[in-house]
Amino acid sequence: MKLRHTLLAAIGLAFAATAVQAEIKVGVVLSATGPAASLGIPERNTVSLLPTTIGGETVRYIVLDDASDTTTAVKNTRKLVAEDKVDVLIGSTTSPPSLAMVDVAAETRTPMISMAASARIVAPMDDKRYWVFKTPQNDQQMASAIIEHMSANKVKTVSFIGFANAYGEGWYEQFQKLADAAGIKIVANERFNPADTSVTGQALKLMSAKADAVFIAGSGTPAALPQKTLRERGYKGPIYQTHGVANNDFLRICGKDCEGTLLPVGPVQMARSLPDDNPVKASALAYVEKYEAANGAGTVSSFGAYAWDAGVLLQAAVPEALKAAKPGTAEFRAALRDALENVKEVAGATGIYTMSADDHLGLDERSRVMIEIRDGTWSLLK
């Protein structure tokens, strides 16, 4: 009898171990502190709203803060893969740490979904980027919206200032190509760092070029610094920003100097203002309502939506991957990568995703609208 009980107990422990191994582990690296905190905090808030079961399996999210630091992002990524044995990575918030995480994802053959914008995260496709996907619109998609608006408003010359990192360089590369094609000349090209406290020298150079408009390629609250400096120095022309500033903290920091700013954003930022026939309105509103129910009215931003859409992609891909293997295995990670690459017409808060072997973003023109900051808030341009 004792032997029978021992055997039953052993079998029970084996089943329990199997159940634990079947848990899907999602490692999340984001910037909840540091210069990019205004972007990372809504992402962190959103992770708590993501599904805890997919395809009948429990999902556990392990969230680590990289403090807006590339070295910390890599350290966190290695910990999640080596110690926590995660099945998939989500992160990071901005482009430099995300680009650094790509190496770890490829080395460990772990699928990764970035929440950062740079096209370089997923293109050009190679052995490393084979494992990496992302949810924010590419620089090129958003830059084309800016160029279209500039052309329609007879902007012929522009002064450019961007972050002195992968985000700024990626934006300049894409913007320059499109500007050249549209006959728009870049007459000044300056850089600044997210942690800088003064850009007076750069601002004076931008103004001395006497361009028709200024374009600032930064993200989060640091992108307010050149704009405030320009306005304080008397610049009265149009200022364009990237979707990297589409959060309420930017409005708060920039204040009255934001008035009239033009920028492209994902549909989620203007979900309630979208026409009813917009194909993203329903899926964007679903996120807005859930986020604001948890965090308060008017708190939603595009950055939390990037985390939400990572969850949307997992909900589409995980059931397919489970047909091939169990979580916690190399086979499951490979199957999940394959399933992510094959999602079709999946509606998120940012747009409609259709991935392919050559396109690990999968968004199109449905993923952007142009807006203006008017009376201290976001206003959809018709």
CB 45 within 8 A of CB 295: yes
pTM of the model: 0.82
CA distances from 1 to 7, 11, 14, 143 (A): 10, 15, 20, 74
Those residues whose C-beta lies under 8 Å from the C-beta of residue 187, and which sit 6 or more positions away, are 157, 158, 159, 209, 210, 211
| 14-57 pLDDT tens trace | 444 444 447 999 999 999 999 999 999 999 999 999 999 999 99
pLDDT of 290 above 80:
yes
Q: Which amino acid is at 364?
A: D
Could you give the 3-state DSSP secondary structure of residue 192?
strand
Place of tokens 């293997």: 325
| 297-316 pLDDT tens trace | 989 989 999 999 999 999 99
CB 355 within 8 A of CB 132: no
pLDDT at 47: 98
pLDDT at 17: 45
Task: Spell out where 96-217 has E strands.
Answer: 112-114, 132-134, 157-163, 185-192, 213-217
- Chain-centroid distance of CA 7 in Å reads 51
Q: Which residues pair with 30 in a beta bridge?
A: 65
Helices and strands, number each (H, E), in the chain: 12, 15
Tokens of 185: 């000349």
CB 141 within 8 A of CB 120: no
| 111-124 pLDDT tens trace | 999 999 888 999 99
pLDDT of 365 above 80:
yes
pLDDT at 264: 95
Those residues whose C-beta lies under 8 Å from the C-beta of residue 181, and which sit 6 or more positions away, are none
375: left (phi over 0), alpha (psi -120 to 50) or beta: left
Please give the residue that has the higher pLDDT: either 64 or 9.
64
CB 272 within 8 A of CB 354: no
Q: Percent of the chain scored above 70 by pLDDT?
A: 95
Tokens of 381: 């341009």
Q: What is the mean pLDDT of residues 256-264?
A: 96
Q: Where are the alpha helices (DSSP H) in 210-329?
A: 224-232, 248-254, 281-295, 302-322
Pairing verdict, β 53-54 and 24-30 = unpaired
**What span, in angstroms and rounded, lies between the C-alpha atoms of 45 and 27?**
15
Tokens of 26: 């999602």
The dihedral of CA 304, 50, 355, 82: what is its sign?
positive
Q: Percent of the chain scored above 90 by pLDDT?
A: 88
Provide long-range contacts, Cβ within 8 A and 24+ apart, for 172-180.
172/217, 173/139, 174/119, 174/138, 174/139, 174/140, 174/143, 175/139, 175/143, 175/146, 175/147, 175/215, 175/217, 177/140, 178/140, 178/143, 178/144, 178/147, 179/147
> C-alpha angle 199/306/97, rounded to 5°?
55
**What span, in angstroms and rounded, lies between the C-alpha atoms of 102 and 14?**
36
Tokens of 214: 């200024």
pLDDT of 2 above 80:
no
CB 149 within 8 A of CB 80: no
In eight-state DSSP terms, residue 137 is P
Relative orientation angle of helices 37-47 and 281-295, to the nearest 10 degrees: 90
Q: What is the largest CA-CA distance in the chain?
A: 92
